[in-house]
Structure 1
Amino acid sequence: MRHYITIEVNLIDPAWVPEYIEAVTPMVVSHGGRYLTRSSQVDVLEGTEKPQFLLIAEFPSKDAALGFYNCEQYRPYKEKRLAGARCSMKLVPAEGVAG
């Protein structure tokens, strides 16, 4: 079953972002993932906090998504992201989604 990784990002120090995007994008693809959106144009319909950026990536399975998230190659970029931003990352199944 397909799974989605969602992440809301609020930058503390944006210095890590260009290198992260350049290096992590092919890692996502190598684990069977694809980005559905990476955008700073977020309209909050409910809740109080508007993230500066929102990302949604689709993976063919939970194992593929976790394979990306837990791979050694990703670890240094994850550490830079966590040091340079406040983030909320979720993994959700594509239950009830057609296609």
Structure 2
Amino acid sequence: MPKGYVLAEIDVTDPQGYEAYKKLSSQAVAAHGGRFLVRGGEAVQLEGTRGPNRIVILEFDSPQQAQAFYDSAQYQEAAAVRRRASVSNFYRLTGS
């Protein structure tokens, strides 16, 4: 069965607010069986126009589990905090 991933490109505009989001989102990821593959750290852009200042990649056992995480009330509460503290793009990916 293919795995599910969530890829987030995030430009933090309010670092203090983003810290609150990280705490809430980490709890939601754990509650839905997700794992952080990439969280913060250096992102070196090799091509293209300016990218985000933060990239996060989550792994789930299935695409359905990744979608359930994103759609959950617990994560949507965290997402509301993120939207006030950053500008972002989120993607759900299917892979192996």
Q: TM-score, normalised to structure 2's length?
A: 0.89
SS of the residue aligned with 1:29? helix
Q: Which has the higher helix share?
A: 2
The amino acid that maps onto 2:71 is N
Q: Hey, what does 2:30 align to over in structure 1?
A: 29
How many pairs were matched up?
Answer: 95
- How far the C-alpha of 1:46 sits from its partner, in A, is 1.3
Runs of 4+ in 1 over 4 A off after TM superposition: none
Identity of aligned residues (%): 28
- Counterpart-to-counterpart distance in 1, 2:91 and 2:55: 12
- Counterpart-to-counterpart distance in 2, 1:92 and 1:83: 25
- Counterpart-to-counterpart distance in 2, 1:33 and 1:60: 8
- How far the C-alpha of 1:27 sits from its partner, in A, is 1.3
Q: Which runs of 5+ in 1 are unaligned?
A: none
Q: TM-score, normalised to structure 1's length?
A: 0.86
- How far the C-alpha of 1:64 sits from its partner, in A, is 0.7
Alignment of 1:44-59 (within 5 A): 44-59=45-60
Q: Which runs of 5+ in 2 are unaligned?
A: none
CA contact (8 A) 1:43 1:50 kept: no
- Counterpart-to-counterpart distance in 2, 1:75 and 1:7: 14
